[in-house]
Amino acid sequence: MKKIVKKTLIALAGLGVLMGAVSANAGPEEDRLKLVNYFKNKFPDLKREDYVLSALAFDPDAKSQYNSIMEFPPYATEIDKGEKLWKTPLKSGKTYADCLPNGGKNIAGDYPLFDNAKAKVVTLEDAINNCRTSNGEEAYKVADPSTIGLLTAYMRTLSDGMKMNIKVEGEGALKAYEDGKKSFYGRAGQLNFSCGNCHVDNAGVRIRSELLSPVIGQATHWPAFRGGDSLTTLQKRYEGCQNNVRHVSDKAGSARYNNLEYFHSYMSNGLELKASVFRK
């Protein structure tokens, strides 16, 4: 079976339009619009808002099962834990709502953002940890599902329905964006695969029993609960994908993955965020 899967992956790697090469010298908005038009031509029956469903958009039966699960989400108590963390005062007596823009409401779609003062990309998890350290607490581990994972899962419910609104303004921001784009389209690992091979060139194709999701819409719903109440953050998913192509992965929270998330999120600009979703 492993040999069959490997041969399938290698064959898929050679297919497609290689969007990264096509848009190598394009700006962020041109990159995004090229992808929008590419998928519009590839999947003419899909509405743009369907892309927030990821692979579910291609499978009516799976979408029906998803709707049934979401009537009584198996992870509801986990969101309650995140709400408790959110409302628990920090050592200074302040809460996260006191030190985040707009009390933490309707801001998740603005992240990741490029912080000119720090000359780097800041993710929502970074913003939470900055709030913690400035109020006398230790920073959480970036991808810990039991702390910052639950906290961001709840926090994103405060931005449910907000449209993704990533901005790339200035030389530093553009450099970070281009680095993220390079990571997305750059081949890596023993299987010589890129993110774009799966999620642009072969979106909608099955590998084993799973459909590959398109890059557009992917960043709108993380962290996600997988297989019940098991929470996974977006950057932990990056680690998993890199391991799947037999590449030594960076760690969640690295500059490379922050830049990748910056590019990745920009590709979903204009789509609504959907917090606390279930994925297989």
Q: Write down the pLDDT at residue 2.
A: 43
- For residue 140, the tally of other CB atoms under 10 A from its CB is 18
Task: Quote the pLDDT of residue 25.
Answer: 63
Is 99 found in the same domain as 67? Answer: no
Q: Is residue 165 part of a domain?
A: no
In a domain, 261, yes or no: yes
What confidence score (pLDDT) does residue 84 get?
Answer: 97
Measured CA to CA, the distance from residue 216 to residue 263 in angstroms comes to 11
What is this structure's pTM? 0.90
CATH of the domain at 208: 1.10.760.10
Residues 199 and 265 in one domain: yes
Which of 122, 157, 192 corresponds to the end of one domain? 157
Q: Which stretches does DSSP call E strand in the chain?
A: 113-115, 120-122, 206-207, 210-211, 224-226, 230-232, 278-279
What is the rounded distance in angstroms from the CA atom of residue 125 to the CA atom of residue 129? 6
**Rounded Cα–Cα distance for residues 143 and 146 (Å):** 9
Domain endpoint, select from 157, 182, 200:
157
Q: Which two tokens stand for residue 266?
A: 């920009």
Range of the structural domain that residue 98 is part of? 76-157
- Rounded average pLDDT per 10-residue block, the chain, 280 residues: 44 45 72 97 95 93 91 91 97 96 96 97 97 97 92 96 97 98 93 92 88 95 84 92 89 96 98 87
Three-class SS state of 244: helix
Within-domain flag for 164: no
The dihedral of CA 208, 240, 68, 77: what is its sign? Answer: positive
Residue 71: partners with Cβ closer than 8 Å, 6 or more residues away: none
Residues 95 and 203 in one domain: no
Q: How far apart are CA 39 and CA 216, in angstroms?
A: 9
Catalytic residue numbers read 241
| The predicted structure's pLDDT at residue 146 | 92
Q: Is 163 domain-assigned?
A: no
> Does residue 96 lie in a domain region?
yes
Residues 220 and 261 occupy one common structural domain: yes
- Judge if 213 and 97 occupy the same domain: no
Number of structural domains the chain divides into: 2
Residues 177 and 270 in one domain: yes
